[in-house]
A and B are shown apart, each in its own frame.
Chain A
């Protein structure tokens, strides 16, 4: 299965990344090589095998419903690139 420039453009949109005209071909080729490599997994028979999403055999890790102190607002905003009125500021959010 070959990765095309169109595939890369679609995935880039999902990942909110942009590639210049002059770099997208090289990038596609490198990505294609990697995908080609990982496709060796196609050969493995996994019938009746469950996936391992967690290596730990732990279940039901919870915390009690207790209030802990929040951060001071200054600490919340301390790294904000742009702020106003105690909030983070961004271009207009439209649905």
Chain B
């Protein structure tokens, strides 16, 4: 038994808050983080006598999500009531979708070590979010209904994911796609993206399989991946001992790096689903779908391929630059201005992204404009600045903002390509360093670099390194 090989089966259930301005069934704002119970109205509080009216944009976002994930969009759809009691559920039913979801049978292709793998998406449907409970020190719970009624899409995958890595890849692709089509801001730390995991293992010959465990309370993609690894081990260990897992829901504890029992799934909730009588049916025609499709921006994978061919940048760079819509838009705007994709890519990846990461900042925090950045890079391209000088200017722009040309002038950074001037400097350096000249003549190539450095130093960094190299080599040849 201990030599048996097992395959892991993972299915994900993702909830994403939609980026509509108002809630699913009422006009309250969906803005995150307001003062408790200040984004509520009779409708989202479920007061007696109130009625829900569907936010059209939420339906459109759901359809666009389905299109982005290659799903079939339902021609006929409806809302249903899911009935259960809970303090954060104001009507004691959630308006959701049961048997006629907006989208079905989609897929995404993720990158794995062994190439592309297709992950099936069973369904995408729309529903409303619940309120939040906060724990009070006296042991009671306090309810805030600001979030109640915010529109959600629920995305359910098939159990096609076979490992923590694949789950991570899937979640990254899902997040970036949702951001690209601007349907959700996907901030897991704010709860606008939530993920539950269903996992079990099956022996390679199919003879032994464990009961599915549902894992909740995952607050990051990393947590989801760690939880999958932990559960896989736990399942295999039990099976190898001749035991099995319970049909249960477990809670991931990020501090302890393990899962804990939460509740058994033997007691199955009877949600008594029935069609929502206050909301009439949806009919989605081809025209509407086409209009929504035209609205869709280029998706991450397609954009990446275009970057590679249009800007001549390598696969890896294109991948990094298209990881978020924001960055892809930024790169493209900049590259078009600069007129050189490769150069722009280098600057973004080595200078900009590094600084952003170090400071923990987003693109919208930059103190300089795209035009200014383009100006800087153009000065490198046309030889006005050498790399070191340009980096200096970039540092100033990043930290304080300003005009590149002004900074260059103020600090006297213009690189000189004046061959006469440089030749003078070369000659004087050679004259001052006879030992290095000797070393170089004796085959020590490192001496060349040292001499270049000396010339650069003497020119206070302004000499065009290319010209320096040429002139120095020539001078040494003649010695």
Interface residues of A (CB under 8 A from B): 14, 16, 53-54, 56, 58-71, 73, 76-77, 84-93, 95
Q: Report if A60-B283 is in contact (Cβ < 8 Å); known contacts: A67-B28, A89-B136.
A: yes
Report how far A29 CA is from B73 CA in the complex, Å: 48
Measured CB to CB, the nearest residue on chain B to A62 is B56
Q: Is the CB of B114 closer than 8 A to any CB of chain A? A: no
Measured CB to CB, the nearest residue on chain B to A65 is B57
CB < 8 Å: which of B55, B78, B142, B216 contacts A63?
B55
Complex A-B: 22 CB contacts under 8 Å: A14-B272, A54-B281, A59-B280, A60-B282, A61-B54, A63-B56, A65-B20, A65-B21, A65-B56, A71-B42, A71-B45, A73-B36, A73-B37, A76-B38, A77-B37, A84-B142, A87-B143, A88-B142, A90-B87, A90-B133, A92-B135, A95-B262
Report how far A84 CA is from B336 CA in the complex, Å: 56
B262:A87 contact, CB within 8 angstroms = no
Measured CB to CB, the nearest residue on chain A to B85 is A16
Interface residues of B (CB under 8 A from A): 20-22, 26-29, 35-42, 45, 53-59, 78, 85-88, 133-136, 139-145, 216, 251, 262-263, 270, 272, 275, 277, 279-283
Report how far A76 CA is from B133 CA in the complex, Å: 16
CB < 8 Å: which of A56, A60, A62, A87 contacts B37?
A87
Q: Which residues of A contact B251 (CB under 8 A)?
A: 95
A67:B22 contact, CB within 8 angstroms = yes
B279:A61 contact, CB within 8 angstroms = yes
B29:A67 contact, CB within 8 angstroms = yes
Q: Which residues of A contact B263 (CB under 8 A)?
A: 95
Q: Report if A76-B29 is in contact (Cβ < 8 Å); known contacts: A58-B280, A66-B22, A93-B133.
A: no
Q: Which residues of B contact A59 (CB under 8 A)?
A: 280-283
Report how far A46 CA is from B145 CA in the complex, Å: 43
Q: Which residues of B contact A88 (CB under 8 A)?
A: 37, 87, 142-143, 145
